[in-house]
Structure 1
Amino acid sequence: MDRPDHVTEPGTRRRRRARGPLAATLAGLLGVVVLGAATFAARVPPPPPAASLILYPPTAAPSTSPPPCTTEGGWPCEWAPRFHAAAELVARSPGTLGLMLVDRATGARFTAGATGERIWTGSTIKLALTVYALDAARTGSQPLTPDGRGDLAAMLHTSDDAAASRTWQRYGATAMLATFRDTYGMAGLTMSGANGDWGALTATPGDLAALMSYALDHTHPDDRAWIVAAMRDVGDVQHWGMWSAGPGSGVKNGWLENPYGGASHWCVSTVGFTGDGERYVIAAMYQMSEGRDSLDLGARTLSDLAAVLFAHPTPAPVAPRPT
């Protein structure tokens, strides 16, 4: 029995084939789309490596610290206004005033005023007498008795004149001066009085600074420690001058009323140290003018000098009193 072409048997699927121009066109378009997508994806460049994203190296942040600088003579910048204030004070003080400051760590020095003029040393020479006696005991040339040690302590603590006179005679009086000049560096030290006494000596601020430096640099460590402790623990009669440089300062002051230029004038001087390790040495000497002089004026002037050099307020809080 013949069957029509469009009839299929149960359970069979009829296979159809795309025929004609429409089927061909659709197939071509699909091929183009797929090909185009593949082509577009191939043209996207890969991401660059991370390092290539940094075009320029980073730069450091600008510094906010001021550039380092020094004043003339090798002193750090903070000293410049202090030196200016000290020089102004010296310039407006009537009479003859000289100042020397030494940095023992660097050797730098600052001077102001009449540093080349010799002025009466007064009791500052008692420091030289003390150093001489201690050195003599160390070398064995002359033992230091308990009484002698007591005189040294009295000279430094209350500036005892009687103790100084005994020490002066005990160690040969003017025979010590050669050692003061040649060993302690007091090249300008001069016996300017007719009586040949310890109170008749003149020197420059540089001579006193050299003496203080010798005591700190060249005496036996035990003697150095004793001197430093004694100069830090002076009686209130010496609480002026280098004392005003601040805590930890040590001082030996001198003061006297003497004839000068045909009239009597007050003369004051101070020598000492301050700073860590006694780094700074200062010496100042002041011969005041006739009619414009007093212990109070001189002591306050030297105290203010020490205060401005070490950035303390002025007028310095001192109360000089005569002995």
Structure 2
Amino acid sequence: MSIAFMDRVSRSRATNGNEEPIETASVSKLFIADDLLFRDDRGEVDLSGSDMAQIDAMLRSSDDSAAEQLWNRFGRNDIVERVAARYGLPFTSVRPGDEWWRTRTTMNDVVTFYSALIDGAGGLSPSRSVAILSNLENFTRLGADGYYQRFGLPDALPDESEIGVKQGWMCCVGSDWIHLSTGFVGPDHRYVVAIASRESANTFGGGSVGADHARRTMTATASALFPSGRIDLR
């Protein structure tokens, strides 16, 4: 497990000390959306209505097809490199030839990205930031592939009315499930939280661990962090 937390009012951070990079799975769709919207504002690309609809779909419903098309059309690995440079994400990268879901990052980098996206420090215009944040707030219960998207933060924080997330999941990297639950919580997006798990799909007894178990692990971790069902630092 890797955990990072930030209070944007006090600017305080906390982690569980695990800074090992992990595959982003669908969380890298944030980088695709940010890069395209930034470049569109600068006149470097010309996004169509269809392109904008694909951005909405990959953020709200984690649509892989939309992400794949945008990734291939607008720069592939260069997308991640540009975002990492602009946001100052030292541990975020993707190897040449790898796909978007094999982008690697740390939860501290993810928290840095969210904070800068929200306050504009990453260079994205306020209207474009709002577009991304609104999509994350309106995430669908099920992803485009039918995968349950409320694991982790959403299910662990039922008493938080203001929450936006970008989830990630995939199997298998080697023999591991990868799950991420990342987002912002509270009025004015005060809190930023990023949780990631790498869980072996194989048990010592020769059986296998499925997606349900991996999702429960994420929700149990978030619930242990916030046992009251909301973020209350008092």
Output the TM-score relative to the length of structure 2.
0.84
Identity of aligned residues (%): 27
Distance change (3 Å), C-alpha of 1:160 and 1:279: same
Distance 2:229 2:185 in 1: 17
Compute the displacement of 1:169 (Å). Answer: 1.6
Match of residue 276 from structure 1: 187
Q: Out of 90, 96, 105, which is 2:9 matched to? A: 105
**Deviations for 1:250-271, whole angstroms, at most 9, x for unmatched residues?**
00000000233xxx22110121
Of 243-252 and 159-168, the range deviating more from structure 2: 243-252
What amino acid maps onto 1:161 in structure 2? D
Compute the displacement of 1:113 (Å). Answer: 4.7
**Deviations for 1:257-307, whole angstroms, at most 9, x for unmatched residues?**
0233xxx22110121000110011111111013425432222222223333
Match of residue 146 from structure 2: none
Distance 2:223 2:88 in 1: 26
Whether the 8 Å contact between 1:128 and 1:211 is mirrored in structure 2 is: no
SS at match of 1:186: coil
Whether the 8 Å contact between 1:121 and 1:202 is mirrored in structure 2 is: yes
Output the TM-score relative to the length of structure 1.
0.62
Match of residue 214 from structure 1: 116
Match of residue 107 from structure 2: 205
Q: Does 1:174 align with 2:77?
A: yes
SS at match of 1:288: strand
Q: Does 1:307 align with 2:223?
A: yes
Q: Does 1:256 align with 2:170?
A: yes
Whether the 8 Å contact between 1:271 and 1:284 is mirrored in structure 2 is: yes
Match of residue 186 from structure 1: 89
Report how many aligned residue pairs link the two structures: 213
Whether the 8 Å contact between 2:84 and 2:93 is mirrored in structure 1 is: no
SS at match of 2:84: helix
SS at match of 1:239: coil
SS at match of 1:255: strand
Aligned-residue CA RMSD (Å):
2.0
Q: How does 1:33-72 map to 2 (within 5 A)?
A: none
What amino acid maps onto 1:105 in structure 2? V
SS at match of 2:127: helix
SS at match of 1:190: coil
Unpaired runs of at least 5, structure 2: 143-148, 204-208
Structure 1 runs of 4+ aligned residues shifted over 6 Å read: none
Unpaired runs of at least 5, structure 1: 1-96, 315-323
Whether the 8 Å contact between 1:242 and 1:250 is mirrored in structure 2 is: no
Q: Does 1:233 align with 2:159?
A: no
What amino acid maps onto 2:117 in structure 1? A
Which structure has the larger Rg? 1
